[in-house]
Amino acid sequence: MVGGFDGWATLPMPTVEIDYYEDNDLGEYTKTRNGSSSTTTTDSYEGSYALEQTFSGTNYAEIQSTSGLNAYPKQGDTVTWHVKRNSNTDTAYALFYAVQSETDSPDSYQVDIRPANGSFRIVKWSSGSPTALNSVSASYPSNEWMTVKLDWGNDGSMTATIEDSTGTEIASVSASDTAYSSGGIGFRANDKGQQASMQVDGVDMV
Ligand SMILES: [Ca+2]
What confidence tens digit (pLDDT) does each residue in 4-61 have?
Answer: 555 556 566 789 999 999 999 999 999 999 999 999 999 899 999 999 999 988 789 9
Q: What one-character-per-residue DSSP string does 103-142 give?
A: SSS-SEEEEEEETTTTEEEEEEEETTEEEEEEEEE----S
Flag whether the pTM goes above 0.75.
yes
Question: What is the tens place of the pLDDT at every residue in 160-195?
Answer: 999 999 999 999 999 999 999 999 999 999 998 889
Q: What's the confidence (pLDDT) of residue 14?
A: 80
pLDDT value of residue 4: 55
CA atoms within a 13 Å half-sphere pointing along the CA-CB vector of 71: 16
Domain ranges in the chain are 12-205
Tell how strand 91-99 and strand 184-191 pair up.
Answer: antiparallel
Distance 106 CA to ligand 1 centre (A): 26
Please tell me the distance between residue 49's alpha carbon and the centre of ligand 1 in angstroms.
Answer: 4
Digit-coded pLDDT (tens) for 124-159? 999 999 999 999 999 999 999 999 999 999 999 999
How far away, in angstroms, is 155 Cα from ligand 1 center? 32
Residue 97, CB-side half-sphere exposure with 13 Å CA sphere:
28
User: Distance, CA 53 to ligand 1 centroid (Å)?
Assistant: 14
Q: CATH for 12-205?
A: 2.60.120.560
